[in-house]
Amino acid sequence: MAQTIAASEVKTIILACEAGMGSSLMSVNALKKKLKKANVDGVTVLHKPARGIPADAQVVVVHKGLAGVVRNKAPNAVVVTFSHFLNDPAFDALVKAFTDNGDILDTGG
């Protein structure tokens, strides 16, 4: 499913976690920091458990190991996957979509 969404339409990014105890919190911070550094404002990063993703979510950022759970919860969301919690190229690509006014691509497979 090759879904995309224009970054300009996105107001909220959901970062999905499993237990919300550790690794995903690191990713929330890392992503917020990168957005701030690139002077991207007007987009909010929310931290939510993968099992509780709202069906109308626009963009969900999630570790590749949890992508399937997110896909089931929000079939129409653009799912962006990452492998490294702190410094993943996926975060940079996401920030770039905002700074370049580009599209956010689904990488959830």
Partner 1 sequence: MTVLSIERIRLGATAVDKLDAIRQAGDLLVSSGCVEAGYIDGMLARESTMSTYLGNGVSIPHGTFDNKGQIQQTGISVLQLPAGVEWEDGEKAYLVIGIAASSDEHVGVLSSLAEVIEDEDTTQLLITTTDPQVILTYLSAEAVEE
User: Which positions are annotated as active-site residues?
Assistant: 17
Whole-number minimum distance, CB 73 to partner 1, in Å?
Answer: 14
Nearest distance in Å: CB 39, partner 1 = 17
The DSSP result for 48-59, as a single string, is EEGGG--TT-SE
Contact 16, 54 (CB under 8 A): no
84 scored as a contact of partner 1 (CB under 8 A): yes
Our finding on whether 46 is near partner 1 (CB under 8 A) is no
Return the bridge partners of 4, or none: 105
Residue from 1, 6, 26, 46 in contact with partner 1 (CB under 8 A): 26
Task: Show the tokens assigned to 18.
Answer: 């499993």
Residue 25 is a binding residue for partner 1 (CB under 8 A): yes
Question: Any contact of residue 36 with partner 1 (CB under 8 A)?
Answer: no
Comparing CA positions, the residue from 18, 8, 28, 22 lying closest to residue 67 is: 18
Radius of gyration (C-alpha) of the chain in whole angstroms: 12
Residues that bind partner 1 (CB under 8 A): 18-23, 25-26, 29-30, 49, 51, 63, 65-66, 84-87
